[in-house]
Structure 1
């Protein structure tokens, strides 16, 4: 083969490096995109948590006292996020309202998780009559439409923050009980749990030292997503007048208080809606990331 023929063959056959690096580059770019979104979501949640925790320490205006003209738009020279129809600082109300909305989401989720995990763990371990009773109770609560359930509680008891948290936590218990039971049944077949049984470990030790740590990671990842839905539920109930009563600010209460003036002053409604959207979106992104990580860990076991 002549030199010219060799050069033609070399040009016509693509190099192995070019063929292999292109898919790898695309794969790396796809991995970077979700990671960048996860970083941005975590950054936003950090900002929300910072303002919610330190709202009482930061130099913010009063949530009840007017600080300027009504309906001011955001500006660097005046109020950073503007004012509502009563002239109150939207930034202050978002910070203190975020504290209420996050508290409802976190406490209702953790309370439902604690009770639901305990019931699901007991139902999976003892089975029989205990498991049947837990399943019947969970199915009974799940059969009730959530909005009807919340409206009934609001009609029977005066709306307040403890009532709202209790109602939402009660709705979370059956879901966490089912999830905990399904994961507990899978964990109970693993070798270290069977070895604990063979060594004569007590029921309490097997339940809380062997089974519970194995089912917590996926349940906690799901709890982040549930927390997002609890924030949406708080906003929806406050919009209907069934949430935290005024003058205590919450994101849903801010929307409800400004909805009648949305035609000529939309910003006081748009600001809390945007805060709810970004927070719920960020929680869902973080929850999905945690679920993917736990799935990879389980597949490696």
Structure 2
């Protein structure tokens, strides 16, 4: 008996270590970069940095120095301060917009996959209509019409993410709606709301959260594209996309002004993709995880 308990304890201890090793070094490097970006973005106001909006025309495109660790841009603003404060805008839009898609798309997908019938046809048809429009063109049109603001940009990108989250939630719900634990809950007289919230939501939430990280990466890229085209957040607020757009005018004399925010965006998007893909593989119901 003691030997059996010792074996069980050993398996419970070794299992998390084995799972951690299966994640790989790239996963933890991506997590480390994400933590670093979030930390500097949150602590931007307390870091010893100059103001990202203070201009010094005598220091235009100044090289890297002890005073300006990444030099200055075409208007004499500190490039490192703009890069860190720009991370705030990119992360706020990249996180808040997928939350909108996750909330509305996840709810619609679960309801459509559980109740089926005409409601499912209506939901899937409306999402197909929304997907029929090219997302970037639709975002350009709506942003140009409503005006440039952080709220408008976040809302339109969130609405564009609803169909993708709806499809993920619906597919997961269709897989789980005929499982034994759902049928048992129905046989015991559980209400639809209880089944959706207590039985299905915890299982559907796992693939949705994994897809959420992939959605964050896509949203950061789309926000950068809109800001690059001048339809992102209005100046003097800076984001990585607007910094890349401003830096293209100095490619011949100071290419770092475009490359530094591009590298930061690339590493951040790559990190979200790596973490999202890894978690999606662990939560894929086809692999018997659920």
1:69 and 2:59 matched: yes
1:162 and 2:151 matched: yes
By how many angstroms is 1:259 displaced? Answer: 1.7
Instruction: Give the corresponding residue for 1:88.
Output: 77
User: Distance in 2 between the 1:66 and 1:252 partners?
Assistant: 20
**Paired residues, number:** 270
Instruction: Give the corresponding residue for 2:176.
Output: 187
1:70 and 1:32, CA in 2 relative to 1: closer, same or farther beyond 3 A? farther
> What is the aligned counterpart of 2:42 among 53, 72, 91?
53
By how many angstroms is 1:60 displaced? Answer: 1.4
1:236 and 1:54, CA in 2 relative to 1: closer, same or farther beyond 3 A? same
Instruction: Give the corresponding residue for 2:189.
Output: 200
Instruction: Give the corresponding residue for 1:4.
Output: none
1:271 and 1:136, CA in 2 relative to 1: closer, same or farther beyond 3 A? same
By how many angstroms is 1:93 displaced? Answer: 0.6
Instruction: Give the corresponding residue for 2:8.
Output: none
User: Distance in 1 between the 2:161 and 2:59 partners?
Assistant: 43
Instruction: Give the corresponding residue for 1:232.
Output: 221
Where do 5+ consecutive residues of structure 1 fail to align? 1-30
By how many angstroms is 1:78 displaced? Answer: 2.8
Bigger drift between 291-300 and 143-152 goes to 291-300
User: Distance in 2 between the 1:300 and 1:249 partners?
Assistant: 42
1:237 and 1:300, CA in 2 relative to 1: closer, same or farther beyond 3 A? closer
By how many angstroms is 1:33 displaced? Answer: 9.4
Q: 1:53-101, CA deviations, whole angstroms, 9 ceiling, x for partnerless residues?
A: 11122221101113672223334x3322221122211111111110000
By how many angstroms is 1:32 displaced? Answer: 6.6
Where do 5+ consecutive residues of structure 2 fail to align? 1-19
1:296 and 1:117, CA in 2 relative to 1: closer, same or farther beyond 3 A? closer
User: Distance in 2 between the 1:33 and 1:215 partners?
Assistant: 23
Instruction: Give the corresponding residue for 1:9.
Output: none
1:273 and 2:262 matched: yes
> What is the aligned counterpart of 1:152 among 137, 141, 155?
141
> What is the aligned counterpart of 2:87 among 90, 94, 98?
98
User: Distance in 1 between the 2:102 and 2:252 partners?
Assistant: 41
> What is the aligned counterpart of 2:203 among 190, 214, 227?
214
Q: 1:135-158, CA deviations, whole angstroms, 9 ceiling, x for partnerless residues?
A: 111100011111221122123211
TM-score normalised by L of structure 1: 0.85
Q: 1:96-125, CA deviations, whole angstroms, 9 ceiling, x for partnerless residues?
A: 110000000100001101100000111111
By how many angstroms is 1:227 displaced? Answer: 0.5
1:223 partner SS: helix
Instruction: Give the corresponding residue for 2:101.
Output: 112
Cα RMSD (Å): 1.8
2:59 partner SS: coil
Bigger drift between 113-122 and 59-68 goes to 59-68
> What is the aligned counterpart of 1:289 among 274, 278, 284?
278
